Amino acid sequence: MNISIIGAGAMGSLFGALLAESGENVCLIDIWKEHINAINTNGLAIELDGKTRFIKLKAEFVENMVDRSDLVIIFVKSNQTSEAAETANKFIGDKTLVLTLQNGMGNADVMTKIIDPKKIVAGTTSHGATMIGPGHVRHAGKGPTVIGMWSGEKNEGLADIVETFNKAGIETKAVEDVKPVVWKKLIINVGINAITALTGIKNGGILDLESTKDLVREAVKEAVAVADAQGIKLPEDMADQVFKVAEATGANRSSMGQDIDHRRQTEIGAINGAIVRLAAQSNFDMVPVNKTLTALVETYQSHFQ
């Protein structure tokens, strides 16, 4: 399969490396010159359980992208999704599908404004990756990947993606209705990310105080109500599911926490900010906890140079 990955950071590089190792024709596309040059010179270094292997694959700057791929994967951070979708739209063919496995809510909707909505595949992945430096990523965790057509319409190409990913060791299944899957992952992030980012604690830290757990319960309750207003029914026990994830990933710093630690812009707009935005769309403006968490993170990151 010809695969282009726009946004070759931690996750784009990881998926690109696994797919290239499995024999697919992969091209990584990014705006980060040192990273692209390092991959083209030395190959991509993937670190797993203390061992490093080098994988040869193509890497290109965005402006040089010409390929017509069977699959384009968008793996930029959510605040760059529309730029990446514009890039993708310039070179996709009739049968190309465009996949987002980014965190947050709104990426697929942004993409449907730029790319034919029938081509958009969305989903979630439990793989984790960390950028170590140019040309070097760490495979930080493995887990299932779930994908589906964002439009809900059937598309034969979905089965090819599932087969190609599984062959590459990326355990993947397709579902008919992917929206609840993306919502569930969003709600885990709503419960953990902003609170850990603002307080400097690791994920497990949200379980230490009853008052922190109450804050998580309130943020999650608002998000579940907004999902309901959007026609998405989620399980009653979403806050407990957040606590389970916080326990299982207790020693990790959330991705938003890492962004704040490195003084980078976060994905707050696609996480708690998405709850605020969607609540307003549904004339359901009762999301004070998510509004406050969003405003605090936005205030914090607005002072980064």
Q: Which residues bind ligand NAD (CB under 6 A)?
A: 6-12, 29-32, 62, 75-78, 80, 83-84, 87, 102-103, 125, 128-129, 131, 255, 267
Q: How far is the CB of 257 from ligand NAD (least distance, A)?
A: 12
Of the pair 155, 193, the CB lying nearest ligand NAD is at 193
Alpha-carbon Rg for the chain in angstroms: 19
CA angle 268, 153, 220 (to 5 degrees): 30
Q: How far is the CB of 31 from ligand NAD (least distance, A)?
A: 5
Residue 263 backbone zone (phi > 0: left; psi -120 to 50: alpha; other: beta) = left
Alpha carbon 59 to its chain centroid, in Å, reads: 21
Of the pair 128, 205, the CB lying nearest ligand NAD is at 128
CA distance linking residue 160 with residue 52, whole number of Å:
29
Q: How far is the CB of 239 from ligand NAD (least distance, A)?
A: 21
Place of tokens 């696994």: 18
Of the pair 218, 268, the CB lying nearest ligand NAD is at 268
Of the pair 23, 41, the CB lying nearest ligand NAD is at 41
Q: How far is the CB of 209 from ligand NAD (least distance, A)?
A: 26
Q: How many CA atoms lie within 13 A of 48 on its CB side?
A: 12
185 is annotated as an active-site residue: yes
Which amino acid, one-letter code, is at 47? E
Q: How far is the CB of 156 from ligand NAD (least distance, A)?
A: 26
Q: How many CA atoms lie within 13 A of 22 on its CB side?
A: 18
Tell me which H or E stretch contains 263. Answer: none
Asked if 122 and 180 count as a contact pair (C-beta separation under 8 A), the reply is no
Of the pair 77, 179, the CB lying nearest ligand NAD is at 77
**Which residue is catalytic, options 185, 202, 213, 233?**
185
Of the pair 110, 218, the CB lying nearest ligand NAD is at 110
Q: How far is the CB of 56 from ligand NAD (least distance, A)?
A: 19
CA distance linking residue 18 with residue 166, whole number of Å:
10
Length of the chain: 305
Residue 178 backbone zone (phi > 0: left; psi -120 to 50: alpha; other: beta) = alpha
Give the CB-nearest residue to ligand NAD: 9
CA distance linking residue 199 with residue 61, whole number of Å:
37
Which residues belong to the active site? 185
